[in-house]
Chains A and B, each alone.
Chain A
Amino acid sequence: MVTLKDYAGGPTAWCPGCGNFMLLRAVQEALVGLGKEPHEVLLVSGIGQAGKLPHYLRCNTFNSLHGRTLPPATGAKLANHELTVLAIAGDGDCYGEGGNHFIHAIRRNIDITLIVHDNQVYGLTKGQASPTSDTGFATKIQPEGVILAPFNPVLAAAAMDASFVARGFTGEKDHLVGLIQKAVRHKGFALVDVLQPCPSFNKLNTFAWYKERVYKLDEGGKYDPTDRVAAFQKAQEWDSKIPIGVIYTNPKRPTMEEQIHAIREAPLVKSAAGGPDRSRLERLLEEFI
């Protein structure tokens, strides 16, 4: 039986009080709860404080470039779809540098869970605005406050009919564990945008700021995440109340892997062993005569 010990990793380099610690713990607990062995799991991360997460637990890891989390995760999943693939990104990483990949991963509906550490600020480069920074948020680069409108990832994902869209909060760890597990179990592309305080650089959206606003969508049992109109409404709540939970899901969309002929029977990495048959290749030459 897999336990938390199996997922134990090395020392971290995050600031004290960082939301990443709870996120790391939530990922470990979610995977243990799902009964996944570390060798069955591949974490693909980008660059930023979020990108370091895979180094702090034990599992297969491809720590990619800034913004380039989803493409290698997509390639790896297509090459071996038996792997449980999680893409770990930050808000700048995924919604800024990697924004195009985010859009197209939703279109592909590949069975990957994307966890975005969304602290609304750049941590590794020390405090610049991120795509999700609130308008008016002042930094050394934006001393008079951000004048751009924030990117709303859950609204954008729902608008693109992403098959699973959720928002979590590191201050609600057990709830977050549940969301990650639902996302991993979901067949298709799953976004878990995780609100996470950055005690070093975001003095606006603090732990207390989030804590007084977030509420759980699934409490009360009335919210239907397959209702897209309701999802649009929930996805736009922000200033005074912020919903967490599964905001939108469309279980009817087929996954990318289900539609690819080459992997209908076995993962590509298994069927590729041995190389192509020589006599078949020789027959192929006839097409050029």
Chain B
Amino acid sequence: MLDLKIKIGGEAGQGMQTISHTLAHVFTRGGLHVFSVQDYQSRIRGGHNFSELRIRESPVFSMTRGVNILIALNKETIDLHKGELYEGGVIIYDGEKIKVEAHQDLLSVPLDRLAQEGGNRLYGNSVAAGAALGLLGYAFEPLAEVLRDVFGKKGTVAEDNVKAARAGYDFTTRNGHSQFPWKFKPLDDRRRMLIAGSEALALGALAAGCKFVSAYPMTPATGIMTYLAGKAREWDIIVEQAEDEIAAITMAIGASFAGVRAMTATSGGGFCLMVEGLGLAGMTETPIVVVEAQRPGPAIGLPTRTEQSDLEFVLHASHGEFPRAVLAPGTSEEAFYTMAKAFNLAEKYQTPVIVMSDQHLADSYWTIDTLDMSRIIIDRGQLIRPEETEKLVGYKRHAITHSGISPRALPGYPGITVVTDSDEHDEEGHLTEDTGLRTRMMLKRMRKEIGLAQEISPPKFYGAVNPEVLLIGWGSTYGAIREAVDLLQSQGQKVGMMHLSEIWPFPSGAVATALESARACFVVENNATGQLARLIRRETGKAVTGKILKFDGLPFSPEYVMEGIK
């Protein structure tokens, strides 16, 4: 069964991601499934970066160890990654540029010269993509199609790139290892999508009717505002780059107060600044969606790498108490639907909803069948329309109700005023220091958590029922855990997984039952202390058997998960 990995390494700026992305599209269009990750450093030029893609005939969720083709755009890539090569694997490199000792794994392709012969040395990436395809014995035409789509009608650029790719393709077809063991063909022409986590989060926001995005750029969250800014004109969305994260969240809160769906996105460091705004949304009962794309901390940490160390932070962020929801999608597909749910929850319960992402989710690409727009239902909760005048008689923005939800009118509705305050306030929204009223308002706001808890989906289960070993994860570890379960089950072990993509309000009942059903339970978390494990203990009173943790800035592989079960 096909399971092939291509790693492309070089310095920042050499275009590893372009090659990887081009190939990912070629294979996805060929009916194959691709998963691709990016590993980069916090610099624009130089350093060592790589992009890696894995191709299978069935859905693929994670990267695994081992490489079939290594495309080395510099010598350092060869030194760092040659040990990862499978027996029979090949390193494509430009022997006219990179001097290394001859070795049977090395296949020199004159990337630079072929690019120049094609008209421009900038086309070296297309030569490399063609060379990889030639080695794989894959059809050339799909690559030509993708290049034509990417470069469009910019003069002769598209055709020049196709020529360059053809030169690379012909070179490896002629000079490649005819014994290269992993040759394959397109499966079918099913039109699947290739989408990254950040793109899916942004697309989900757009589909959910988000009209206002204010954010401050921060890796790995920037992709969300970048995507939406690109769509702003066509979709009438306002995307404002705020002066800081405090402005970003409070601007979005102002827009939401005035009646439009609004969001912000940041990483942990930016979220630190947003914390007071989170409390403001909680107190003024203003809907807001915040994407927190985690990276290793504290402080600046590893800016371009991945971690899941902000779970407890987002659960407790802000002084004081108010209801919130915390969602943590595991794949790009789930990220899309999660955003739609986040906006509905925020508006129904008039409170902040935090969607957790991280660099691994944000920057990785998945092949998915499609996204079903009919599943996106916009529910604006108890938002009063201006013509519903009977509901506006004696209007009080923070009316005390059984559900805790106060019907929401907007500033500008004739005949009424809408008042809210970050101070404790009365039902009308005016500040109060009445202690009895304070108690009633707190209880009103906290009652919303009862309804909110009922909206939270139970954890997702995969693999064996009543397993010997239950692997528990949240967010972007979904893929690595799932594939670890597949591998262990194929070895005859009774293993299952429980994945939490909706974490708060905590689904205690379902989690407790699952813990009881398994002989041993391990959390798998990209952090140093096992934050989910602590949360489980706190909410269910049950301890897990062990913790499989990783906090070097890199995502899990299924192998790493398997090795952690002891």
- Those of B208-237 within 8 Å (CB) of chain A: 208-209, 211-212, 214, 232-233, 235-237
**Which of chain A's residues have a CB closer than 8 A to the CB of B233?**
261-262
B255 touching A75, Cβ below 8 Å: yes
| B422/A63 in contact, CB under 8 A | yes
- Given contacts A55-B431, A75-B251, A278-B374, A83 and B258 within 8 Å (CB-CB): yes
Note all chain A residues with C-beta closer than 8 A to B418. Answer: 60-61
CB distance from B394 to the nearest CB of A (A): 14
Query: How far in angstroms is the closest Cβ of chain A from B284?
Result: 7
Partner of A272, one of B211, B240, B244: B211
A72 CA to B253 CA in the complex, in Å?
6
Binary interface encoding of chain A residues 269-281 relative to chain B, with 1 for a CB under 8 A from any of its CBs, else 0: 1011001101001
Q: Residues of B within 8 Å of A, CB-based: how many? A: 69
Expressed in whole angstroms, the Cα–Cα distance for A83 and B252 within the complex equals 17
Q: Which among B212, B253, B412 has the highest number of chain A CB atoms within 10 Å?
A: B412
| Separation of A75 and B276 alpha carbons in the complex (Å) | 17
In the complex where A39-B414, A68-B280, A71-B251 touch, is A281 in contact with B373 (Cβ < 8 A)? yes
Chain B residues in 8 Å Cβ range of A37 = 414
Q: How far is A101 from B371 in the complex, measured between Cα atoms in Å?
A: 39
Whether B209 lies near A272 (C-beta < 8 A) is yes
8 A Cβ contacts from B425-447 to A: 429-431
Out of A10, A58, A60, A260, which one reaches B411, CB within 8 Å?
A60
Is A65 within 8 A of B280, CB to CB? yes
State whether A39 and B415 are in contact (beta carbons under 8 Å apart), knowing that A68-B280, A103-B243, A268-B236 are contacts in the complex: yes
A75 touches B414 (CB 8 A): no
Indicate if the CB atoms of A284 and B429 lie closer than 8 Å.
Answer: no
Contacting chain A: which of B188-196, B291-299, B521-529?
B188-196
Q: How far is the CB of B389 from chain A (nearest CB, A)?
A: 13
A71-B251, A72-B251, A262-B236 as given contacts; A80 in contact with B411, CB under 8 Å: yes
Q: Is A73 an interface residue (CB 8 A)?
A: yes
Of B259-267, B467-475, B545-553, the stretch lying at the interface with chain A is B259-267
Interface centre among B209, B255, B258 (most CB of A within 10 A): B258
Stretch at the interface among B45-53, B94-102, B109-117, B199-207: B199-207
Residues of A with C-beta under 8 A to B193: 285, 288-289
The answer to whether A268 and B211 have CB atoms under 8 Å apart is: yes
Residue in chain A with minimal CB distance to B415? A39
Question: Per-residue CB proximity of B393-426 to A under 8 Å, as 1/0?
Answer: 0000000000000000011111111111111000
Residues of B close to A75: CB separation below 8 A: 212, 214, 250-258, 262
Residues in chain A near residue B260, CB distance under 8 A: 79, 268-269, 272
Q: Using Cβ atoms and an 8 Å threshold, which residues of chain B touch A44? A: 254
For A280, the closest partner residue in chain B by CB is: B235
Ordered by A's residue number, 25 sampled pairs between the chains whose C-beta atoms are within 8 Å are A39-B411, A39-B414, A59-B417, A60-B417, A61-B429, A62-B411, A62-B420, A64-B422, A71-B242, A71-B246, A72-B254, A75-B256, A75-B257, A76-B257, A79-B255, A79-B260, A83-B258, A83-B412, A261-B232, A268-B211, A269-B259, A271-B236, A275-B209, A278-B373, A278-B376
Give 4 nearest A-B pairs by CB, closest first: A75-B254, A72-B254, A60-B411, A75-B255
Q: Mark A residues whose CB is within 8 Å of B.
A: 10, 37-40, 42, 44, 47, 52, 54-55, 58-65, 67-68, 70-80, 82-83, 100-101, 103-104, 260-263, 268-269, 271-272, 275-276, 278, 281-282, 284-285, 288-289
